[in-house]
Structure 1
Amino acid sequence: MSLCTIMNITKNKFYSALTILAVSAVFISSCGPDKKEKDAQAQTIKQEDAIDSPAVELAMVNKGKLQANISVPGELLPYQQVDLYAKVNSYVKKLWVDIGSQVHQGQLLVTLEAPEINSQLAQAESHVKQMEAIYYASKATYDRLYNTSKIPGTVSQNDLEQADAKKNSDLANVEAAKSSYKEMAANLNYLEIRAPFDGVISARNVNTGAYVGPGGKGTDPLLVLQDQYRMRLVVSVPENYTGGLSDKNKVSFTVQALPNRQFTAQIKRLAGALDEKLRSERLEMDVYNTDHKLLPHMYADVNVPLPSHDSTLFVPKTAVVTSTEKVFVIKVVNHRARWVEVKKGVQTGDVMEIYGNLEKGDQVVKKASDEIRDGSAVSY
C-alpha cells in the first residue's frame, strides 16, 4: 500500500471522528434542558400531590375506662382560727403567752384591769341593798295591815291591796337591782381572756399596759389563736370535673417547703354548689399535722382523682384540634379527611377523653391541625 493511500485512510477516519463528536455534542445539547425540565415538573407534581394529599399518621379511637387525675392548687388553712379581742375598755395587766405558745382550752391568756368596773360593781351592790331595805319595809307594813285586817272593821280592803302592791313592786326592784349587779359582775369575767380551744398563738399585737377595747373593723386583735394540729386543705375543682366527686375519694399533695414528701388526705366536705366567680366547687380535706411540719396558708399542689366511666371514648390529645371554628378531630374514611366536632373530657398523660359522633375503631389523624381541610385527600 502506497503512502498516499495510507494518508487518505487516516484523514477519512479523522473526519469521521469529528463528525461523531459533533453529532454527540448536538444530541447532548438538545437533550440536557429537556431532562432538567422534566425533573422540575416531576418535583412540582410531587409537591402538589403532597399538598393535595398529605401523608398522615393514623390513630385508633379507643373505648374503655379512663383513670385520670387533675392537678389543682390548694391552700392549707387552720381547722379553727379565732381573733381574740377585749370585751370591755380596759388595760392589759398581764400577758401569759406569746407568739408560738402552745395553749389548751380554758388556759388563761391575758389578764386585763378596769378600775371603773370595780366602782360600778360596788355601786350596783349598794343599789341592791337599798332596794332590799325598801322591800323589807313595805313587806313589814303589809304584814302588819294583814294581821290587823283579821279584826273586822279595823283596816279597809283598799289599804290592804295598796300595801300588797307596794310590797310586790319593791320586790321587783330588788330583782332588777340584782340583775344589774350580775351584769357588772360578769364584766369582771371579761377581764380574763382564755383559750376557747387547743392551739397555737400565731399573732400578738399588744404589750403590757396597752389600752384595749371592743374590736371592730380595722382593729387588730390582741391575739390570734389557730388550731394547727388538724388543718383544712382547700381546693377549687373546675366545673367540668365536678361530676361524680364524693367524700370517698382521697387526694395526694405536696408543698414547696417539703418537696420530697407526699401527703394524702381524705375528702371530707364538698360545697355542693359552684362558686359564682370561679365557676368551681370547693373541696375540703382534713390533714392531721402530727409532726407540725405543715404551716397554715401554705400552698399545695394537689392531685384530685376524677371519676371514670366505662363507656369513654379517648384518643391521643394531639388528635384533638382547637381552632377558631370549633373543637374537632379528623376522621379518615377512604383516604378522605372528615372533620368531626367533639367535646373535650378529662385528660391523663397523652390521652384525652372525647364526646362526639365517633365509634370505637374509627381512625383519626394522630397529629391533626386545621391545615388538613375537611374533605381533602390524605395518604398514610
Structure 2
Amino acid sequence: MTMKRLTGKRMTIMLICVGSLLGTLIGFNLYKAHMIKKFMMRDGMAAATVTSAVVSYQTWQPQFSATGSLRAVRGVDVTTEVAGLVRELEFSSGEEVKAGQVLLRLNADSDRAQLASLKAAADLSQTVYTRDKAQYDIQAISKAQLDADTAELKSRRAQVEQQAALVAKKTIRAPFAGRVGITTVNPGQYINPGDAIVTLQVVDPIYVDFHLPQEQLAQLEAGQHVSVNTSTFASLSFGGQVRAINPRVDSTTRNVQIEAVLDNHERKLLPGMYANVKIDVGSEQRYLTLPQTAIAHNAYGATVFVIRRREQKNAHGKTMPVAQQVFVTPGPTRGDQVAILRGLDEGAQVVTSGQLKLQNGTPLIINNRVLPADSPAPTPQEE
C-alpha cells in the first residue's frame, strides 16, 4: 500500500509539473502575441516610398494606328530603250532636274549619218514626185507612175522619221521634274536596253501606304487627317490627309490598303522609309487618365492603389497617408497614358510606382522627384 501511495504521489507531482510547463508556454505565447499586437498598434507597418499622380480629365482624339511605307508621288529608274556607248552625263547625283532636261547622251554619230542619208533620199523622192506630177498634169506620164512616186516618197519620209526617233532615243531626258539619285554610270561605258541609269523621284509631296483591319473600314474616308513620324526624325511629326482607300480588301489578311499624301517641302522624308501612321477618327473624347504604370493586373481584374488620409496618428504624432486598393475599368490607351472608365473620380490621388510592396493600410511616403513616363506621344530613347 505504501508503495502504491508513493507511486501515485509521484504521478501527481509529475502531472502538476507538466501542466505548469504547458501553462507557462501557452502564457508566454499569448504574452508574445499581445506584445507584437501592441507594438504594431503603436508604431504601425513600415512606410513605403511611392510616386503619385492626380486623376484628371484630358481630351483625346480617337485614332487608328498603323505602320506604313513611304512612296514617291512619281518615281522611276531612268533607263534607255537602245544600246549604246555613253558619251556624256548632263547631271550631278542628287540634284533637282526639270521635266525634259537632258540627263545622258549616247554616241549617235553613225545614226545621224544614216539619218542624213535617208533625208537625202527623201529629198530626191520629193523632187521626182514634183517633176512627175507636172508631167502627169500635161498627160505625159501615166497615173500608175505618179502613184509609184507617191508611195516611194511616203516610204522615204517614214524611214527618216524612224531614224530620227532612233537618234532621239540616244539622248535620255527626265520624264518629269524631280530629284535624281546617285548614278554609277560613267562616260565611255556601254549600256544595254533596260539598264538603270539613275533613279528619279518626286518627294514633295510624298505618299504613305499602310493597311488597317476591315473592321475599321466604316470609320475611314478620304480627307481624314493623318500624322506620321519616323525613327529618323523622332521629334518631328508630318501632317497629311487620306487620299484614297483601296476598293478591295485583301482576302488573306482581311486588311484594306490606305494611301495618304504628306507635305514634305523640307525633303526630309524619302521613298522607302517606314513610318508610324495615326489617323484621326470621330470626335474628341474626354477621359480620366493615368500613367499606365499605375495599373496593376491580377486574376480578378485591374486595380490601382488610391492614397487616403487617415485620422489616427502614429507614435511620432504624424498623420501619414495610407494605400487603399480599388478595382478600376481601364479604357483606351494613348502613349504612356490609359483612360479610366470606372472606379475613380477626378482629383483622386493614386500610386504610380512602388505598388509591389503595398497592401491595404500600408503607410506611404510620397516622393515625386522622379516620375514614371506619362506622355501621350512618347519617343524612343537610346542610350
Give the TM bin, normalised by the shorter chain: 0.5 to 0.7
Cα separation, 2, equivalents of 1:104 and 1:124:
33
- The alpha carbon displacement at 1:16 in A equals 10
Query: What runs of 5+ residues in structure 1 fail to find an aligned partner?
Result: 1-14, 33-65, 147-159, 311-316, 322-328, 330-345, 354-359, 361-380
In structure 2, what is the equivalent of residue 122 of structure 1?
116
Q: 2:63 aligns with which of 54, 63, 69?
A: 69
1:303 lines up with 2:278 in the alignment:
yes
Could you say which structure has the larger radius of gyration? 1
Written as runs of structure 1 = structure 2, the 5 A alignment for 1:148-163 is 163=142
Cα separation, 1, equivalents of 2:270 and 2:150:
58
> CA 1:277/1:351 → structure 2, altered by over 3 Å: closer, same or farther?
farther
Question: Root-mean-square deviation (CA), in Å?
Answer: 4.0
Cα separation, 2, equivalents of 1:107 and 1:171:
38
Cα separation, 2, equivalents of 1:104 and 1:352:
55
Asked whether the equivalents of residues 234 and 282 of structure 1 are also in contact (C-alpha less than 8 Å), the reply is yes
- The alpha carbon displacement at 1:144 in A equals 3.3
- The alpha carbon displacement at 1:19 in A equals 5.0
Deviation digits for residues 178-229 of structure 1 (CA, Å, limit 9, x no counterpart): 12212212322222222222211113131101122321xxx4x112111122
> CA 1:288/1:176 → structure 2, altered by over 3 Å: closer, same or farther?
same
In structure 1, what is the equivalent of residue 156 of structure 2?
177
Asked whether the equivalents of residues 238 and 263 of structure 2 are also in contact (C-alpha less than 8 Å), the reply is no
Cα separation, 2, equivalents of 1:111 and 1:94:
5
> CA 1:258/1:21 → structure 2, altered by over 3 Å: closer, same or farther?
same
Deviation digits for residues 259-286 of structure 1 (CA, Å, limit 9, x no counterpart): 1122222111111222344431111221
Deviation digits for residues 76-108 of structure 1 (CA, Å, limit 9, x no counterpart): 221111221123222211112122112122222
Helix, strand or coil at the partner of 2:162? helix
Cα separation, 2, equivalents of 1:352 and 1:275:
35
In structure 1, what is the equivalent of residue 248 of structure 2?
273
Written as runs of structure 1 = structure 2, the 5 A alignment for 1:164-203 is 164-203=143-182
The alignment's TM-score, normalised by the length of structure 1, stands at 0.58
1:22 lines up with 2:15 in the alignment:
yes
Cα separation, 1, equivalents of 2:126 and 2:178:
47
> CA 1:67/1:263 → structure 2, altered by over 3 Å: closer, same or farther?
closer
> CA 1:244/1:299 → structure 2, altered by over 3 Å: closer, same or farther?
same
> CA 1:225/1:251 → structure 2, altered by over 3 Å: closer, same or farther?
same
Query: What runs of 5+ residues in structure 2 fail to find an aligned partner?
Result: 1-7, 26-59, 286-294, 302-330, 343-383
The alignment's TM-score, normalised by the length of structure 2, stands at 0.58
- The alpha carbon displacement at 1:309 in A equals 12
Helix, strand or coil at the partner of 1:289? coil
Asked whether the equivalents of residues 248 and 266 of structure 1 are also in contact (C-alpha less than 8 Å), the reply is yes
> CA 1:80/1:352 → structure 2, altered by over 3 Å: closer, same or farther?
farther
In structure 2, what is the equivalent of residue 263 of structure 1?
238
Cα separation, 1, equivalents of 2:139 and 2:217:
82
Written as runs of structure 1 = structure 2, the 5 A alignment for 1:1-380 is 19=12, 22=15, 25=18, 68-145=62-139, 163-215=142-194, 219=195, 221-307=196-282, 348=333
In structure 1, what is the equivalent of residue 371 of structure 2?
none
Match for 2:74: what amino acid? Answer: Q
> CA 1:230/1:87 → structure 2, altered by over 3 Å: closer, same or farther?
same
Cα separation, 1, equivalents of 2:131 and 2:96:
57
Cα separation, 1, equivalents of 2:257 and 2:296:
31
Paired residues, number:
261
Cα separation, 2, equivalents of 1:224 and 1:292:
16
